[in-house]
Amino acid sequence: MEKTIMAIGGHIGDAELTCGGILATMALKGYKVITVALTGGERGNPPHLSVEQYREQKLKEADAFVKHLGGEAVVLPYVDGELPDNEEVRFQVCDLIRKYRPCALLTHWKYSMHKDHELTHRIVKDAQFFAGLKGIEREEAAHFAKGPYYAQNWEDATEFKPYVYMKVSEEGFELWKKAIQEHWFAVHSKDFHYMEYYEHLMRCNGCLARCDYAEAFMVNPEEMKLVIEDL
């Protein structure tokens, strides 16, 4: 049975940058990759595009990126910077978890300089809870997904301490480098060198994880348990 992995970002491009190496690596292993963006991230528009035009471009970029991985992109209809903090959006994400039935969720850490990132963190945790409860009746049957695993992100750096290092294969790294170029801002932003930063971060994490490339994640404090049976 095909396994699925779901990465959920506050904006189009968040998951692709912070989790992209793992997504590409898992895709090459036969996993189905689902990227979910709760907003378009359109207010980072370049001078030559209006906010509305940039949203349309980013929708195409989301699809183009995940097509390299043989997966599917989902973008909710919310505006960058105006993600609502309500039950409706939580149940929208719950329904996506139940529909696609991922084995694990990847998303934002709880502290960030961006309000959409912090809210996405809370939305995903609640959606994971709702999705796993059989007593909550929705169109699809209940499903529990592991995690969430919280991705390393320069915008979400406060109190982030890597706990899990996931190995990115060399083939996955190369596939990510090809796919991420679909995102205009990752390559062309003059405010931050996104692709370069995450490319080098994967290499640095690989050194720490004693492999070529890796991505680092945090987990919930209650899940920080190391169980051994013998020394």
| Domain ranges, ordered by start, for the chain | 4-223
What pTM, to 2 d.p., does this model score?
0.96
Cβ-contact 168, 202 below 8 angstroms: yes
**Which SS3 state, helix, strand or coil, does residue 33 take?**
strand
**4-223: CATH homologous superfamily?**
LmbE-like (3.40.50.10320)
Could you list the pLDDT tens digit for every one of the 231 residues in the chain?
Answer: 689 999 999 999 999 999 999 999 999 999 999 999 999 999 999 999 999 999 999 999 999 999 999 999 999 999 999 999 999 999 999 999 999 999 999 999 999 999 999 999 999 999 999 999 999 999 999 999 999 999 999 999 999 999 999 999 999 999 999 999 999 999 999 999 999 999 999 999 999 999 999 999 999 999 998 888 887
